[in-house]
Homo-oligomer: A and B are copies of this chain.
Amino acid sequence: MKQIDVCLTPDLLHQYELKNKIVVVVDILRATSCMVSGMANGVKEIVPVATLEECKDLQDLGYLAAAERNGSKADGFDMGNSPFEYMEEKVKGKKVAVTTTNGTLAIHKSLAAKEILIGAFLNLKAVSEYLKNKEEDVIVLCAGWKGKFNLEDTLFAGALCHHLRGVFEFACDAPLAAEAMYLIAKNDMMKYMQDSSHAKRLAKLNVVKDIEFCIQESIYDIIPYLSGKSLLGKK
């Protein structure tokens, strides 16, 4: 049977063999939720970059530049890291360059994989259906917070494992634990999210609305995937 595994933070990625596998990168608050929202609302292409400087360079080439540092929009950029900014009229048909604290790093660390997909609660069903129809083993890579474990990415990993149970074998204890977490949290996701340290940080920045948006399951059917240095969308 195909296997699914969960890497709880990018700091543990050295333990995983990525070759010939599909990696699903998740950074629920808020990088991958933004990517999915943007693609679902007409963004043509998203280029994840590691530094503010690279992001600025692409801005000079005509990209919309999105940058968040420690939860807030960085100075001189077109967009921050709220999914609602990725749904505005001005983004339609545009290319967006984005740098985030954790999500971009997770994508860059996954380049040895056969395929890199962007996952979020927003496109959960689309991702799980896509994976069911593929031959490859899967690793869900939680972007975490500065290398540390975080709750919301683990809950997504658990949701995906739960949807794939029976079709994929759980490779170790992390999928089991993540699924158990998801099953206890799913009926009151907002409460669990509000308890999480990351949500507490964000709550200080008045982004409860963002969080409520990001925990909606399967409202979009688009899957961003890495092609060269860009994320494109497939359905």
A185 neighbours in B (Cβ, 8 Å): 180
A180 neighbours in B (Cβ, 8 Å): 181, 184-185
Which residues 192-222 of A have a CB within 8 angstroms of B?
195-198
- Check B184–A172 contact: CB distance below 8 A: no
A94–chain B nearest beta-carbon distance, Å: 34
A145 neighbours in B (Cβ, 8 Å): 172-173
A7 to B172, CA, bound (A): 18
A146–chain B nearest beta-carbon distance, Å: 8
Judged by a CB distance under 8 angstroms, whether A65 is at the interface is no
What is the total number of copies of this protein in its complex? Answer: 2
Mask of A136-170 contacts with B, CB within 8 angstroms, 1/0: 00000000011111110010000000000000000
A199–chain B nearest beta-carbon distance, Å: 9
A106–chain B nearest beta-carbon distance, Å: 15
Of B11, B146, B151, B176, which is within 8 A of A173 by CB? B151
A146 neighbours in B (Cβ, 8 Å): 15
Judged by a CB distance under 8 angstroms, whether A8 is at the interface is yes
A132 to B149, CA, bound (A): 25
Judged by a CB distance under 8 angstroms, whether A177 is at the interface is yes
Judged by a CB distance under 8 angstroms, whether A112 is at the interface is no
A147 to B198, CA, bound (A): 25
- Check A197–B173 contact: CB distance below 8 A: yes
Given contacts A11-B11, A11-B12, contact A172 B154 (CB under 8 A): no
Which residues 1-38 of A have a CB within 8 angstroms of B?
8-9, 11-12, 14-15
Judged by a CB distance under 8 angstroms, whether A174 is at the interface is yes
A180 to B181, CA, bound (A): 7
A83 to B151, CA, bound (A): 34
A8–chain B nearest beta-carbon distance, Å: 6
- Check B148–A176 contact: CB distance below 8 A: no
A122–chain B nearest beta-carbon distance, Å: 21
Closest 9 A/B residue pairs (Cβ): A151-B173, A149-B174, A172-B197, A150-B173, A173-B197, A173-B196, A184-B184, A15-B147, A15-B148
Q: Can you name 10 A-B residue pairings with CB atoms under 8 Å? A: A8-B8, A9-B12, A15-B146, A15-B148, A145-B172, A148-B173, A149-B173, A172-B197, A173-B196, A176-B197
